[in-house]
Structure 1
């Protein structure tokens, strides 16, 4: 059987959700094209040194995957160029996992349209531009079994208004997009993993979160990766057009 080729954005940290998904998919028989953007992850997020990606590619190749990668800024508008490079390196992908994101905490008192615009450029314009370019390449290649996944968030966090607004747009478009691309054999879902211990949760915040999880622990990137692997597999095709809360029953939404 042909190995699926999966494009995953935002794979910049060994402890991150994107890396956990890549590990799981490599073990499940996928080839992978990874994007990362160290100017954000290394200075403003919780990123690692730029040598991380080379070590990580070696790890994935030991699992049997063909792997290529590049530094890519979702705000660049170069979606066609990115897909050209993916095709030259590995072929036309049949799966797209939109994991990369931009986030700045902003409240009613600190909200500006410029902050919203920065979120929109990455989380909406860049992500959806890449998604529609992916669909066009997929169609031309004659693929018949595809997946698109948006990593999303939500809730009533009054300190994170711009991020929640931009992710809400992805949630809103999911069922309509699934309806539009289903004729090509593509399933589309929005995936909310809830609070995930990917390196940003300190001990005090973890103590606040744990009582909100019925199983008495915070979610891990591996929890997300296992379910994403199912969605990306053949058995996941019938999950379509959904806003999935795969968060261990987190009650703090």
Structure 2
């Protein structure tokens, strides 16, 4: 896809080498995009999968070997000035971006009996507020006539219930609503806005018991992998997808709940 070369893509939430964010970075780098990614190790260190602190720098070096420009920053998306920090750094280091992938997410397990204001606020600040404001600031700075892309990562909460993930499902549902309305607002600017639900994806959090439980629900006979969603994104950011906007795409291998 020669038309992709030279464009700048921003990917949030690419801390872990085995994660979806890193897979997106790799896939777009292979197509010739210059890459700017964010990471937040404090979050990943507290999660069951944890993280080696040098993983973001290993990813950066890996991407640089593909002959593109790469930059990154550690960024706490719960901070009010995070959107401006991010886009100021992108513009200073690479130029005004063409593509925004809102991949960063906050997720902990909770249900009606355990959810509290603090946890709900953390989910909201990353999954809804940051996604909305980074998208808004991206659009305000977009200086091309066409070819802009915003892609949000959602979680299929309207495909069925997600017991035990009440705060996560609630805030990701808001991302679906954001996608549909923002796509109408930004269409005159030459920016398409879509969301992708990758379904259950093995990014290192799945135990063997979880894999065995989920695998029969995939008619294609395997668990979803990070590169699956990355390949879908590669299509959506291409010129071939310039007529697709305002869509929630369920790229989850036919997963049956």
TM-score, with length taken from structure 1: 0.96
Query: 2:226 aligned with 1:224, yes or no?
Result: no
Q: Is this contact kept in 2: 1:96–1:147, CA < 8 A? A: yes
Q: How does 1:61-100 map to 2 (within 5 A)?
A: 61-78=64-81, 79-100=83-104
**Deviation (angstroms), 1:219:** 0.4
Q: Is this contact kept in 2: 1:27–1:64, CA < 8 A? A: no
Map Cα deviations across residues 161-219 of structure 1 (whole Å, 9 max, x no partner).
00000000010121211111001111101110000011001100100101100011110
Structure 2 residue aligned with 1:24: 27
- Greater shift, 107-116 or 40-49, is seen at 40-49
Distance 2:215 2:244 in 1: 29
**Deviation (angstroms), 1:44:** 2.2
Q: How does 1:4-15 map to 2 (within 5 A)?
A: 4-15=7-18
Distance 2:150 2:48 in 1: 25
Structure 2 residue aligned with 1:162: 167
Structure 1 residue aligned with 2:152: 150
Structure 1 residue aligned with 2:60: 57
2:140 to 119, 136, 141: 136
Q: Is this contact kept in 2: 1:77–1:129, CA < 8 A? A: no
Q: Which runs of 5+ in 2 are unaligned?
A: none
Structure 1 residue aligned with 2:186: 181
Map Cα deviations across residues 120-167 of structure 1 (whole Å, 9 max, x no partner).
0111111111110111111xx235211001101123121000000000
Distance 2:16 2:114 in 1: 29
Q: Which runs of 5+ in 1 are unaligned?
A: none
Cα gap change, 1:47 to 1:231, in 2 (>3 Å): farther
Q: Is this contact kept in 2: 1:108–1:158, CA < 8 A? A: no
Q: How does 1:106-125 map to 2 (within 5 A)?
A: 106-125=110-129
**Deviation (angstroms), 1:46:** 2.2
Ranges of 4+ aligned residues in structure 1 off by more than 4 Å: none
- Greater shift, 89-98 or 150-159, is seen at 150-159
Map Cα deviations across residues 1-53 of structure 1 (whole Å, 9 max, x no partner).
55110000000011000000100000001001000000001232524222111
Distance 2:230 2:138 in 1: 22
Distance 2:192 2:114 in 1: 38
Q: How many residues align?
A: 250
- Greater shift, 42-51 or 84-93, is seen at 42-51
Map Cα deviations across residues 77-120 of structure 1 (whole Å, 9 max, x no partner).
22112211110000000110000000111111112122211110
Distance 1:64 1:42 in 2: 31
**Deviation (angstroms), 1:64:** 1.6
Query: 2:12 aligned with 1:41, yes or no?
Result: no
Q: Give the RMSD, CA atoms, in angstroms.
A: 1.2
- Greater shift, 17-26 or 80-89, is seen at 80-89
Q: How does 1:207-246 map to 2 (within 5 A)?
A: 207-246=212-251
